[in-house]
Chain A
Amino acid sequence: MRKIIYAIMLFAFFQFIFTACEYLPEAENYIEIKKPNPTHMLDLSLIPENDTIKIFNSTELTFQFNTYGLEMLGATISIGNTTLNAYSDTSTIVISPAGYAPGVYTLNAIFLTRSGTGSIADKLGGEGYKIEKNYFLLIDGSDAIRITPEYTINSDQLFELTWPECQNYNFDAYILKKGSQKIKEFTNRKATHFVDSLYVGGSAGYEIDVRVLTNNRISYGNTLLVNEDFPHPSFELISLDSLKIHWKKQNIKSNVRLAYGVGISTYTQHFIPYGDTCSVIPLPAFGIQYIFQLTTLPYHDSNYFNTSSFVQTYYTFGTSLQMSTNRIVYNKNKNMLFSYSASNKEVTSLDATTKNKIKTVSLPETPYLSSCAVNNNRIVFLSFYNNFYVFQDENLNNPTTFNIGGLNGYGMFVLTDNNFISMTCYDKLYMINLNNNNEISTIRLPESYYNTYPRVTTSQDGKYICAASGAGYRLYSFGNKEFTLVSTDTRKYASVLFNPLNPAEIAFTFLDDNLLEVRSIPDFNLIRSIQLPNKYRVENFDTATGLLLLNNYSKLLAVNILTGQIHTGPNCTNDPYLLYGNNIFNPFTYYSDMTKCW
Chain B
Amino acid sequence: MKKIYSLLVFTLFCTVSYGQNFSVRYETGMGQYNMKEIKDLQTDFKNMVSDLDVESVVRFPSALYYGIEAEYQFNKTNALGVHLFYNTTAGRNHLADYSGEYKMDLLLSSYATGINYRCTFSKLGKFSMSAYLGAGIRFSTLKIKEDLTIYGDTLSHSDIIAHGTNFYTLPAIEISYPLLSKLDLNLKAGYEIDFRSKYVTIDGDGDPQILHNDDGKFLNIDYSGFRVGLSISYKFP
- Give every chain B residue within 8 A of A25 (Cβ-Cβ): 57-58, 90-92, 105
Residue B72 at the A interface, CB < 8 A? no
Q: Answer whether A120 and B52 are a contact pair too, CB < 8 Å, given A23-B88, A126-B155.
A: yes
9-residue interface stretch from A28-36, A60-68, A401-409: A28-36
Against A, the Cβ 8 Å flags (1 = close, 0 = not) of B1-41 are 00001001100110111000000001000000000000000
- Give every chain A residue within 8 A of B151 (Cβ-Cβ): 121, 126-127
Name the one of B26, B51, B96 contacting A14, with C-beta atoms under 8 angstroms. Answer: B26
- Give every chain A residue within 8 A of B96 (Cβ-Cβ): 28-31, 120
Residues of A within 8 A of B (CB): 3-4, 6-8, 10-11, 14, 17-19, 21-25, 27-33, 35, 117, 119-124, 126-127
Residue B99 at the A interface, CB < 8 A? yes
Against A, the Cβ 8 Å flags (1 = close, 0 = not) of B166-204 are 000000000000000000000000000000000000000
- Give every chain A residue within 8 A of B107 (Cβ-Cβ): 22-24
- Give every chain B residue within 8 A of A17 (Cβ-Cβ): 66
- Give every chain B residue within 8 A of A28 (Cβ-Cβ): 57, 94, 96
- Chain B, Cβ-Cβ closest to A31: B97
- 4 nearest A-B pairs in the assembled complex, by CB-CB distance: A121-B99, A18-B86, A25-B58, A27-B57
Bound CA span A535–B184, Å: 180
Q: Are A3 and B16 in contact (CB under 8 A)?
A: yes
Could you jot down 18 A-B contacts, CB within 8 Å?
A: A4-B13, A7-B13, A7-B15, A11-B9, A19-B86, A21-B66, A22-B107, A23-B108, A23-B109, A25-B105, A27-B58, A28-B57, A28-B94, A33-B98, A33-B99, A119-B97, A121-B151, A126-B155
- Give every chain A residue within 8 A of B64 (Cβ-Cβ): 21, 23
Q: Are A126 and B100 in contact (CB under 8 A)?
A: yes
In this complex, the member of A6, A7, A32 whose beta carbon has the largest number of chain B beta carbons within 10 angstroms is A7
Q: Are B92 and A18 in contact (CB under 8 A)?
A: no
Q: Are A120 and B101 in contact (CB under 8 A)?
A: yes
Q: Are A18 and B12 in contact (CB under 8 A)?
A: no
In this complex, the member of A3, A4, A22 whose beta carbon has the largest number of chain B beta carbons within 10 angstroms is A22
Q: Are A14 and B97 in contact (CB under 8 A)?
A: no
Q: Answer whether A120 and B97 are a contact pair too, CB < 8 Å, given A7-B9, A21-B86, A29-B55.
A: yes
Q: Are B97 and A32 in contact (CB under 8 A)?
A: yes
- Give every chain B residue within 8 A of A23 (Cβ-Cβ): 63-64, 88-90, 107-109
- Least Cβ–Cβ distance between B191 and chain A, in angstroms: 20
- Chain A, Cβ-Cβ closest to B62: A23
Residues of B within 8 A of A (CB): 5, 8-9, 12-13, 15-17, 26, 51-55, 57-58, 63-64, 66, 68, 86, 88-92, 94-102, 105, 107-109, 111, 148, 150-151, 155
Q: Are A24 and B90 in contact (CB under 8 A)?
A: yes
- Chain A, Cβ-Cβ closest to B70: A7
- Least Cβ–Cβ distance between A554 and chain B, in angstroms: 117
- Least Cβ–Cβ distance between B25 and chain A, in angstroms: 11
- Give every chain B residue within 8 A of A29 (Cβ-Cβ): 53-55, 57, 94-96
- Give every chain B residue within 8 A of A126 (Cβ-Cβ): 99-100, 150-151, 155
- Chain A, Cβ-Cβ closest to B101: A120
- Give every chain A residue within 8 A of B52 (Cβ-Cβ): 120, 123-124
- Least Cβ–Cβ distance between A128 and chain B, in angstroms: 11
- Chain B, Cβ-Cβ closest to A14: B68
Chief secondary structure at chain B's binding surface = strand
Q: Are B86 and A31 in contact (CB under 8 A)?
A: no
Bound CA span A117–B150, Å: 14
Bound CA span A30–B101, Å: 8
Q: Answer whether A124 and B57 are a contact pair too, CB < 8 Å, given A22-B107, A25-B91.
A: no
Bound CA span A17–B66, Å: 9
Number of A-B contacts (CB under 8 A): 112
Q: Are A10 and B12 in contact (CB under 8 A)?
A: yes
Q: Are B92 and A27 in contact (CB under 8 A)?
A: yes
- Give every chain A residue within 8 A of B17 (Cβ-Cβ): 3-4
Q: Answer whether A124 and B155 are a contact pair too, CB < 8 Å, given A14-B26, A25-B57, A31-B53.
A: yes
Q: Are A30 and B97 in contact (CB under 8 A)?
A: yes
- Give every chain A residue within 8 A of B111 (Cβ-Cβ): 18
- Chain A, Cβ-Cβ closest to B94: A29
- Chain A, Cβ-Cβ closest to B111: A18
- Least Cβ–Cβ distance between A13 and chain B, in angstroms: 10
Bound CA span A29–B91, Å: 13
Bound CA span A334–B91, Å: 149
Bound CA span A21–B65, Å: 9
Q: Answer whether A119 and B100 are a contact pair too, CB < 8 Å, given A3-B17, A23-B89.
A: yes
Q: Are B150 and A121 in contact (CB under 8 A)?
A: yes
- Give every chain B residue within 8 A of A119 (Cβ-Cβ): 97-100
Bound CA span A25–B61, Å: 10
Bound CA span A7–B9, Å: 8
In this complex, the member of A8, A14, A29 whose beta carbon has the largest number of chain B beta carbons within 10 angstroms is A29
- Least Cβ–Cβ distance between A4 and chain B, in angstroms: 6
Q: Are B99 and A122 in contact (CB under 8 A)?
A: yes
- Give every chain B residue within 8 A of A124 (Cβ-Cβ): 51-52, 100, 148, 150, 155
In this complex, the member of A3, A18, A117 whose beta carbon has the largest number of chain B beta carbons within 10 angstroms is A18
Bound CA span A19–B88, Å: 9
Bound CA span A22–B26, Å: 17
- Give every chain A residue within 8 A of B66 (Cβ-Cβ): 14, 17-18, 21
Q: Are B88 and A22 in contact (CB under 8 A)?
A: yes
Name the one of A18, A22, A120 contacting B99, with C-beta atoms under 8 angstroms. Answer: A120
Bound CA span A17–B85, Å: 12
- Give every chain A residue within 8 A of B98 (Cβ-Cβ): 33, 35, 119
- Least Cβ–Cβ distance between B131 and chain A, in angstroms: 26
Bound CA span A122–B16, Å: 63
- Give every chain A residue within 8 A of B88 (Cβ-Cβ): 21-23
Bound CA span A589–B57, Å: 134
- Least Cβ–Cβ distance between B100 and chain A, in angstroms: 5
Bound CA span A29–B94, Å: 5
- Give every chain A residue within 8 A of B26 (Cβ-Cβ): 14
- Give every chain A residue within 8 A of B68 (Cβ-Cβ): 11, 14
Q: Answer whether A121 and B63 are a contact pair too, CB < 8 Å, given A7-B16, A18-B86, A29-B54.
A: no
In this complex, the member of A10, A25, A124 whose beta carbon has the largest number of chain B beta carbons within 10 angstroms is A25
- Chain A, Cβ-Cβ closest to B99: A121
- Give every chain A residue within 8 A of B12 (Cβ-Cβ): 7-8, 10-11
Bound CA span A11–B82, Å: 14
Bound CA span A24–B5, Å: 25
Bound CA span A259–B9, Å: 136
- Give every chain B residue within 8 A of A120 (Cβ-Cβ): 52, 95-97, 99-102, 148, 150
Bound CA span A4–B95, Å: 50
- Chain B, Cβ-Cβ closest to A28: B94
Q: Are A6 and B150 in contact (CB under 8 A)?
A: no
- Give every chain B residue within 8 A of A22 (Cβ-Cβ): 88, 107, 109
Bound CA span A202–B227, Å: 117
- Chain A, Cβ-Cβ closest to B53: A31
